[in-house]
Chain A
Amino acid sequence: MLDLSKWACLGETLLDLMSKYKDCMALFEVNRDREIGSWTYSQFFEEASRLAALVQDHGFASGDRCAILMSNQSKWLFSATGVFWAGGILVPLDYKLTPSEQLSLLKHSKASVLITEWPIWLYLRKENWDLDQVLVLVTEAPANAQLGRTIRWETSLKKPFQFFKRVREDVACIVYSSGTGGRPKGCMLTHGNYLYQAQVLGEMFPIQSKDRYFSILPTNHAIDFMCGFILPLHFGAAIVHQRTLRPEFLVSTMRRYGISHMALVPMLLKAFEKRTRENLESLPKLKQKLIQQLIALNAKLTKKTPKYQFSKILLKPIHQAFGGNLRLLFAGGAFVDPSTAEFFYRIGLPVVIGYGLTEAGTTLTVNDLRPFRADTVGKPLPGCKIELRDQNKSGVGEVWVNGPTMMKGYLDDPDLTKEVLVDGWLKTGDLGIFDPTGHLKLVGRAKNMIVTEGGKNIYPEDVESTFEDLQGSQEVCVFAANYIWPTGRLTDEQLLIVVRPNPGLAKEKLKSAILERNQKLADFKRLAAFMVWEREFPRTASLKIKRDLLAQEIAKSFQKETVLQTLS
């Protein structure tokens, strides 16, 4: 039984685990079909302690902040562990943001150290930001690279590191939930938040030391940080990193390492579903029919609870395509299409669906698979309280949460913190309803934002700055389409721009101007549609757009289908 109560901080628990499992395999790193590294727990200790000593040697002190900007790889974990041992606060940054977005968050976090990879560092350097105050450690730099003040991550050091213990109330990580183009939201999450979350999830979904977790989401992602870093190490299991997300190499890695667990965002889950369906459809008709019958039988016999060994034998060819050892898929980051989750459950691969926010740790509710439910996000985790406030006649209300995983607040933004954290309760901005069995169903958002299938939170205000002074426009405002015209679903969410054009401007001209700016955004942030609004936007005394009022006026005047112009 997992017992994390004796530990005060992540650094302490990670240190204990390294000696407890010292001879077990901790990590494998693969690039395409080539294994490029493997580490036991004691070798993990060596790497992380060298890193801790290296940053300390350059003046990094307990309580200092260190940003990590890396793709999915083992050095992310070594670095994070080293930072925790040095008593530091980790700032995980998203490597898929644009360099200027990454740098603006780095600056906001006041990190004194940045750990990054050579290709990312090349992009960052082009931005010409003043990084004189930041110590940069870069991995995988070519031997002849001109590094200047930058230090090689691989630098060897004979000095031992000094361990600094933190307490549960101390901030462990500053995780940005949004704010790349506007007001940064750096969620301060404590060691206590993470340890509590690990305890609860570990009890619900125990892993065995022989298990292999496939880490394909970047570890800056809350789900991978918990499921692909903290949790497997607590059970002495091994984590496998694949440097590419090419589907063919994902499958070959699953086979080669006998992957038992993995976490996915809905976009990847759908890609796996499509591939599996295509494989099934390519079989001769008779075989297809037989497999469909076996799938139906499996669904019937696992209705109450998953029976992994049984499903594995019954549907062997399908399971072989996932490596033959896959037991559990964790899905999150965005709303999971129930039909996709249902598909996987029917073939004997249960998808654990949960609901969480960066502001509240990793997960608030989770489906415990007893029985499997594809239509809800499960029940609240032990210790997590959920209230639905301002409920309508059908019982739909705004989700407010309280519990041991709530963040301390937003970094350097007490006003914004006060807006979302009221008497310890977090206002999520999501709309939900409880069913009679206590499962939470999410039915929409009270806030103007979208979550992509790739698990990215996009706030229209962050995107809007790209369209300021749009050629031919007098005013622009970006919305989540669902915010204006609620659909009751959280799939296929899209952003749209509302434009008040200059009089007489041709729509085609406006469209090309929007398309040109749209290209400047990261692909997951791009607008899907635009609409023309001829009236002046309602504004506050301080000239801010009254978004809620504008949205109401648009919804009252138009139906979505009649006004939206696609940008494709």
Chain B
Amino acid sequence: MTSHTLSKLIELAAKRFRIEPRTLQPEDDIFIKLEMNSFQALSLLSDLELAFDIEIPDYELQGVKTFQGLADVIDKRR
């Protein structure tokens, strides 16, 4: 489940931030790699909710630093 979530998540992040998906790794720091601020991270969360058909409260993003961490949050809500 997680590997599917992870690859879909990376695909969506790459699309939103116009970046090559191959350059994104599970343990990459999402804020540094995507050069995003916390407000942009919330927009990404909206994309993920739509794609995975789940609802993720903003506070779930607290402490999440990597793509893997974000994938875990998604899986918890599915």
Instruction: Say whether A518 contacts B46, CB under 8 Å.
Output: no
Instruction: Say whether A454 contacts B37, CB under 8 Å.
Output: yes
Instruction: Say whether B65 contacts A247, CB under 8 Å.
Output: no
- A245 to B38 alpha-carbon distance, docked (Å): 10
A119-B57, A119-B59, A123-B63 are contacts. A245–B39 as well, Cβ < 8 Å? yes
Interface residues on B, range: 20 to 34
| Shortest Cβ gap from B48 to chain A (Å) | 11
| Shortest Cβ gap from A395 to chain B (Å) | 34
Instruction: Say whether B43 contacts A247, CB under 8 Å.
Output: yes
- A568 to B42 alpha-carbon distance, docked (Å): 20
- CB closest chain-B residue, reference A268: B39
- Residues in A100-124 with C-beta less than 8 Å from chain B: 117, 119-120, 123
Task: Tell me which residues across on chain A come within 8 A of B42, comparing CB atoms.
Answer: 244-247
Instruction: Say whether A453 contacts B37, CB under 8 Å.
Output: yes
> B32 at interface (Cβ–Cβ under 8 A)?
yes
Instruction: Say whether A524 contacts B38, CB under 8 Å.
Output: yes
- A526 to B30 alpha-carbon distance, docked (Å): 12
Instruction: Say whether B45 contacts A246, CB under 8 Å.
Output: yes
- A271 to B46 alpha-carbon distance, docked (Å): 15
- A96 to B41 alpha-carbon distance, docked (Å): 14
| Shortest Cβ gap from A411 to chain B (Å) | 26
Instruction: Say whether B38 contacts A523, CB under 8 Å.
Output: yes
| Shortest Cβ gap from B49 to chain A (Å) | 9
- A196 to B9 alpha-carbon distance, docked (Å): 50
- A119 to B73 alpha-carbon distance, docked (Å): 14
Task: Tell me which residues across on chain B come within 8 A of A2, comparing CB atoms.
Answer: none
- Residues in B1-57 with C-beta less than 8 Å from chain A: 29, 31-33, 35, 37-43, 45-46, 55, 57
A98-B63, A245-B58, A267-B37 are contacts. A526–B45 as well, Cβ < 8 Å? no
| Shortest Cβ gap from A246 to chain B (Å) | 5
> A469 at interface (Cβ–Cβ under 8 A)?
no
- CB closest chain-A residue, reference B65: A519
- A302 to B35 alpha-carbon distance, docked (Å): 37
Instruction: Say whether B35 contacts A568, CB under 8 Å.
Output: yes
Interface residues on A, range: 20 to 34
| Shortest Cβ gap from A334 to chain B (Å) | 12
> A567 at interface (Cβ–Cβ under 8 A)?
yes
A119-B57, A119-B59, A568-B32 are contacts. A454–B38 as well, Cβ < 8 Å? yes
Instruction: Say whether B29 contacts A267, CB under 8 Å.
Output: no
Instruction: Say whether A518 contacts B63, CB under 8 Å.
Output: no
Instruction: Say whether B32 contacts A96, CB under 8 Å.
Output: no
| Shortest Cβ gap from B30 to chain A (Å) | 9
- Residues in A267-302 with C-beta less than 8 Å from chain B: 267-268, 271
Task: Tell me which residues across on chain B come within 8 A of A243, comparing CB atoms.
Answer: 57-58
> A220 at interface (Cβ–Cβ under 8 A)?
no
| Shortest Cβ gap from B59 to chain A (Å) | 5
> A193 at interface (Cβ–Cβ under 8 A)?
no
- A297 to B32 alpha-carbon distance, docked (Å): 41
> A510 at interface (Cβ–Cβ under 8 A)?
no
- A96 to B45 alpha-carbon distance, docked (Å): 17
Task: Tell me which residues across on chain B come within 8 A of A119, comparing CB atoms.
Answer: 57, 59-60
Instruction: Say whether B33 contacts A568, CB under 8 Å.
Output: yes
Instruction: Say whether B46 contacts A248, CB under 8 Å.
Output: yes
Task: Tell me which residues across on chain B come within 8 A of A567, comparing CB atoms.
Answer: 32
| Shortest Cβ gap from B25 to chain A (Å) | 12
- CB closest chain-A residue, reference B43: A247
| Shortest Cβ gap from B34 to chain A (Å) | 10
Instruction: Say whether B62 contacts A96, CB under 8 Å.
Output: yes
- CB closest chain-B residue, reference A521: B65
| Shortest Cβ gap from B19 to chain A (Å) | 12
> A532 at interface (Cβ–Cβ under 8 A)?
no
| Shortest Cβ gap from A452 to chain B (Å) | 8
Instruction: Say whether A123 contacts B43, CB under 8 Å.
Output: no
- CB closest chain-A residue, reference B31: A523
Partner of B46, one of A246, A268, A453, A523: A246
- Residues in A62-109 with C-beta less than 8 Å from chain B: 71, 95-96, 98
- CB closest chain-A residue, reference B40: A271
- A282 to B29 alpha-carbon distance, docked (Å): 32
> A314 at interface (Cβ–Cβ under 8 A)?
no
> A515 at interface (Cβ–Cβ under 8 A)?
yes
In the complex, per-residue mask of A220-244: 1 if CB is within 8 Å of any chain B CB, else 0: 0000000000000000000000011
Partner of A123, one of B45, B57, B62: B62
Task: Tell me which residues across on chain A come within 8 A of B57, comparing CB atoms.
Answer: 119, 243-244
| Shortest Cβ gap from A195 to chain B (Å) | 33
- A396 to B63 alpha-carbon distance, docked (Å): 41
Instruction: Say whether B31 contacts A120, CB under 8 Å.
Output: no
- A114 to B32 alpha-carbon distance, docked (Å): 34
- A478 to B33 alpha-carbon distance, docked (Å): 22
Knowing that A120-B59, A243-B58 are A-B contacts, what are 12 other residue pairs whose CB atoms are under 8 Å apart, sorted by A's residue number? A117-B59, A119-B57, A123-B63, A245-B58, A246-B43, A246-B58, A454-B39, A515-B29, A519-B66, A523-B65, A524-B37, A524-B38
Q: List 17 A-B contacts (CB under 8 A).
A: A71-B58, A96-B38, A117-B59, A243-B57, A244-B58, A245-B39, A245-B42, A245-B58, A246-B46, A246-B58, A271-B40, A518-B29, A519-B29, A519-B65, A524-B37, A568-B32, A568-B33
Q: Which residues of A are in contact with B by a Cβ distance under 8 Å?
A: 32, 71, 95-96, 98, 117, 119-120, 123, 243-248, 267-268, 271, 453-454, 515, 518-519, 523-524, 526, 567-568
Smallest CB-CB A-B distances: 10 pairs: A523-B31, A119-B59, A519-B65, A244-B58, A271-B39, A246-B46, A519-B29, A246-B42, A568-B32, A245-B42
